[in-house]
Amino acid sequence: MTQAPRRKRANGVESRQRILDATVEIAGERGYDGTSIAAVSAKCGLPASSIYWHFKDKDDLIAAVIERSFETWLTAVELPGEGAGAPLERMTAMAANIAKSLVDAPDFLRLGLMLALERRPTEPRGRTVFLQVRDISRRRIAELLQGLFPDLDAPDLATLTTYTVAGADGLFVQREVAGDDVDLVALFEMHARMVYEAAARLSRAASPAAPCGD
Amino acid sequence: MTQAPRRKRANGVESRQRILDATVEIAGERGYDGTSIAAVSAKCGLPASSIYWHFKDKDDLIAAVIERSFETWLTAVELPGEGAGAPLERMTAMAANIAKSLVDAPDFLRLGLMLALERRPTEPRGRTVFLQVRDISRRRIAELLQGLFPDLDAPDLATLTTYTVAGADGLFVQREVAGDDVDLVALFEMHARMVYEAAARLSRAASPAAPCGD
Amino acid sequence: MTQAPRRKRANGVESRQRILDATVEIAGERGYDGTSIAAVSAKCGLPASSIYWHFKDKDDLIAAVIERSFETWLTAVELPGEGAGAPLERMTAMAANIAKSLVDAPDFLRLGLMLALERRPTEPRGRTVFLQVRDISRRRIAELLQGLFPDLDAPDLATLTTYTVAGADGLFVQREVAGDDVDLVALFEMHARMVYEAAARLSRAASPAAPCGD
Amino acid sequence: MTQAPRRKRANGVESRQRILDATVEIAGERGYDGTSIAAVSAKCGLPASSIYWHFKDKDDLIAAVIERSFETWLTAVELPGEGAGAPLERMTAMAANIAKSLVDAPDFLRLGLMLALERRPTEPRGRTVFLQVRDISRRRIAELLQGLFPDLDAPDLATLTTYTVAGADGLFVQREVAGDDVDLVALFEMHARMVYEAAARLSRAASPAAPCGD
DNA sequence: TATGAATGAGACTTCATTCAT
DNA sequence: AATGAATGAAGTCTCATTCAT
């Protein structure tokens, strides 16, 4: 603090961040194979060999990117208090929140989906990591649904969770393809409502009584 | 067996097919950058230089793959008579049909989605082609919905179509990730039902009357 | 004549010309290695394999180009009666004539010089041919000089001939490099005058007498 | 012998030189297209990929060769004091000097002329560089002539300079083609004399007086 | 007389990675 | 904590040429 550190003095943490920043951007745009160490090096300004000082290999780098992106994304999503309001309102609010975070930082999910779709003989660790963190999200959604609709039986809950996640993924793709024409927030809210109705219906079926209307 | 083909009898059409066959498989598993001409050459048995006789370059090859795959997929999907039955039944039947075709030949959509997600400076022609043929599908879905629910206004129709396509994409991804655990046919049918109900609801809102129940 | 030959009916002679035309142009611009059979094929519209029907191989093709170009160039140059007028006028007239032909069809000499400058282990036949036809020109110049200055002794004649040819080559290069700014005709005329004066001087030295001035 | 260098001690500067050395030799013999990176790699002992560490691409490599060769050549030519002696003697001395340097290191001019003669759609940077450095030489000749013949008017000076350079190029080509039979030094001296006489004549014409004789 | 298709060699270039400093 | 230099493998694509029709 007293000695105003000579900028550019070797700073491991900052270099690591710069590398990761460059990598999300490139990998988020071009996928695993499309991401070359040389391109990352060019974008972050550090020589390729420095990247290997921070990361074991390309696989490791991509995996680290997925990890860090997920954490960033998670904190962006979880800020708002989850507990308040009526069920439907809570669900649409959360959906809107997630939609916003995806619009702001689409690289994470874009890269993740690209990795997820690939089917190569030796699976990149980044893919594994993505599928793991994605499973965390999935579990959280399942818990939420179960909290709101305690009567749902296990298979229905699983199906509904799958459907929820699928809708999110699909709508995200839609926006990536069609661009800003697509109002992701509105679509996510609609998706939340549809899931809500389906859950209510299934719930009703499981525990009888309750007339029409919602 | 009778004809013992004098090895290497030039046959352009068949070679072209063999190249395309090899390419769908590889590109469907590894995406654009992951598809090396050498790998295609190894899989189809023709030397790399022969591939360049049939296709201008890699871009051209991938684009051709998308084109042919779409046509194949389309004929596989469209066979069943579209006209019969009650609206809901027709929709679920179609959904099931599409789901089946995707389970049988997932390469087309997998590759297409990978291409669609990429955002590289110079867009591969394959991506453009995929987005075009995808738009054809989209229009067909819109027409179907409009046929079944003539009261839907334009914005609702557009939103619903987007939602329908998104659900299909998302569920497909889900299955790609989770494997055979996911019953794609059942999920597509469920999706069809949910879209149906939403369409009915929106339709009812547009032209009043009609009580609860379906 | 009666039967207006269906254009495009297989015509060996014409095809050969088309191939040669395409080749002069390309080889004149890019040299031996820079001339690919594919490029020639593209420019003349015939498939590569057809080129091999007319010419044994690339070497043969280039050599044929040199041969034909030289003949064309020679007839263009030799038309005017060589015999008329005073010595100096005859020389400048010829020089101007040659300059004009080089401006009109520079491909021959450009390609020839490129070939001549190369020094590859296995010399292209085109180079040999060029050096041969070039020697014909050289001999003709020597004869001309000897005709005009019979007193020149053999070594002087050789040197003067070399100098004459060198000047022509060099001025041609100059024009190729600087473009139309260079008035090749004027420079060739000047070159002719300088050679003339030098020849006169050397001639005078060999056989004494003859006052100052020309 | 004492230091037995632990093979493969990274040394950028020396490697760069080795690559350039190999390239002049090959490119000077076979031109731009005839120079393959593989051949350079074989001649200099470094793998092809290492060449790309030092040079962006083939174009860059050839351009660097031209630059370095010109500098080398320039220092070889300029050593002798330019100022001494009578005009004609100074000119012939310089000419002889240049001739000697060209006999010793013909690669530079040979490659340069090959590049200069080519006319490809996208001009190699090496060609541009050659034409630039060549223009420096041209200017120097013009200055020399003007210094010796201050009465020459601008157009005459330009023409004479062009003629001087052209003669040098042409004689060089002559020697390249005919081999050691051609005494380049003698021819260059003769060229210098002829240019001198022409300059004197033109100079005399510009500022009258002075009888016949030389 | 011509050509569609094929082919191995080799072109240029980029890749991921390592190593000595 | 970092980097200049090197490297073998692999990338895309073009080469000259052949062959069956």
What is the secondary structure of B27-88 as a DSSP string?
HHHHHHHH--HHHHHHHHSS-HHHHHHHSSSHHHHHHHHHHHHHHHHHHHHH-S-SS-S-HH
pLDDT at position B74 over 50: yes
Q: Cα dist. D168→B46, C173, D95, D138, D162 in Å?
A: 54, 11, 9, 11, 10
What CA–CA distance (Å, rounded) separates D191 from D196?
A: 8
Percent of chain A at pLDDT > 90 equals 74
Look at residue C4 in the predicted model and tell me its pLDDT: 43
Suggest the residue from A127, A134, A177 to mutate for an interface test with chain B (most B CBs closer than 10 A). A177
pLDDT, mean over chain A: 89
Task: Specify the DSSP class assigned to residue A80.
Answer: S
CB A130 within 8 A of CB A38: no
Which DSSP helix (H) or strand (E) runs through B103? Answer: helix B87-104
pLDDT at A205 > cutoff 70: yes
- In whole angstroms, give the CA distance from residue C202 to residue C156: 7
| pLDDT at residue C169 greater than cutoff 50 | yes
Cβ contact D–C (≥3 pairs, < 8 Å): yes
Give chain D's length.
214
Name the residue with tokens 């309750």: A210
Give the Cα separation of B82 and B94 in Å (integer).
8
Residues of chain B positioned with their CB less than 8 A from the CB of A176: 116-117, 119
Whether the predicted pLDDT of B2 surpasses 70: no
Query: How far B37 CA sits from the closest chain A CA (Å)?
Result: 14
DSSP assignment of A103-163 equals HH-THHHHHHHHHHH---SS--HHHHHHHHHHHHHHHHHHHHHHHH-TT--HHHHHHHHHH
**Is residue A83 classed exposed, middle or buried when 0-12, 13-18 and 19+ CB atoms within 10 A define those classes?**
exposed
Give the closest-approach CA distance of A6 to chain B in angstroms: 37
Whether the pLDDT of residue D210 is over 70: the answer is no
pLDDT digits (tens, 9 = 90+) for A46-67: 999 999 999 999 999 999 999 9
- Subunits touching C (CB < 8 Å, at least 3 pairs)? D
The span from the CA of B190 to the CA of B168, in Å, is 11
Q: What is the pLDDT of residues A84-111, one digit of tens each?
A: 678 889 899 999 999 999 999 999 999 9
Burial of A204 (0-12, 13-18, 19+ CB in 10 A): middle
pLDDT tens track for C12-67: 888 999 999 999 999 999 999 999 999 999 999 999 999 999 999 999 999 999 99
Q: Is the CB of D173 under 7 A from strand F?
A: no
Domain ranges of chain B: 58-206
C107, C69 Cβ separation under 8 angstroms: yes
pLDDT above 90 (res D3):
no
Q: Which has the closest alpha carbon to B94: B60, D73, A78, B85?
A: B85
Assigned token pair, A35 = 């991401």
Tell me the C-alpha distance between D23 and D117, whole Å.
19
pLDDT at residue number A206: 66
Q: Whole-angstrom Cα distance, residue A7 to residue D212?
A: 79
Q: Using an 8 Å Cβ cutoff, are B62 and B36 in contact?
A: no
Chain C CB contacts of D190 below 8 Å = 159, 163
Predicted confidence at residue C129, as pLDDT, reads: 96
More confident residue, D76 or B142: B142
Q: How far apart are CA C177 and CA D117, in angstroms?
A: 7
pLDDT in tens, D138-174: 999 999 999 999 999 999 999 999 999 999 999 999 9
Measure Cα distances from B73 to B13, B40, B66, B101, B131 in Å.
20, 22, 10, 7, 15
Closest CA to C161 of C129, C126, C202, C128: C202
Count of CA atoms in the C-beta half-sphere (13 A) of B157: 17
pLDDT at B214 over 90: no
pLDDT at A80 over 70: no
Check residue D11 and give its pLDDT.
86
- What is the rounded distance in angstroms from the CA atom of residue B195 to the CA atom of residue A170? 14
Q: Are B and A neighbours with ≥3 CB pairs closer than 8 A?
A: yes
* Residues in chain B within 8 Å Cβ distance of A120: 29-30, 34
Residues of D in contact with C123 (CB under 8 A): none
Answer whether residue C130 shows pLDDT above 60: yes
**CA-based max dimension of chain A:** 74
DSSP-based three-state secondary structure for D55: coil
CA of A36 to C1' of F9 (A): 15
Question: In 3-state terms, what secondary structure has residue C174?
Answer: helix
**Which residues in range 20-59 of chain C are in contact with strand F, contact meaning CB within 7 A of any of its atoms?**
35-39, 48-49, 51-52, 57-59
- Spell out the CATH class of D58-206: mainly alpha
Can you read off the two tokens belonging to residue A72? 């960033």
How many contacts (CB atoms, under 8 Å) link C and D?
140
| Architecture field, domain C56-206 | Orthogonal Bundle (1.10)
- Specify the length of chain C in residues: 214
Band (pLDDT 50/70/90 cuts) for residue D8 is low
Asked if A7 contacts A14 with a C-beta cutoff of 8 angstroms, the reply is no
Domain A57-206: assigned CATH number? 1.10.357.10
Rounded distance in angstroms from the CA atom of residue A134 to the C1' atom of nucleotide F13: 40
Q: Alpha-carbon distance C73 to C101, whole Å?
A: 7
More confident site: A203 or D30: D30
Q: Which nucleotide is nearest to A50 (CA to C1')?
A: F2
Q: Report CB contact under 8 Å: A118, B30.
A: yes
Q: Rounded distance, CA D101 to CA D107, Å? A: 11
Q: ∠C199-C205-C209 over CA atoms, to 5°?
A: 110
Closest Cβ–Cβ partner in B177, B182, B198 for A131: B177
Sign of CA dihedral C193, C194, C198, C199: negative
Mean of the per-residue pLDDT values of chain C? 89
Condensed to tens digits (0 to 9), the pLDDT of residues C142-160 reads 999 999 999 999 999 999 9
Among residues D186, D214, D185, the alpha carbon closest in space to that of D198 is found at D214
C138-164 b/e with 16+ CB inside 10 Å = b?
bebbbebbbebbeebeeebbebbbbbb
Mean pLDDT within B63-80 = 87
CB within 8 Å of A150: residues ≥ 6 apart: none
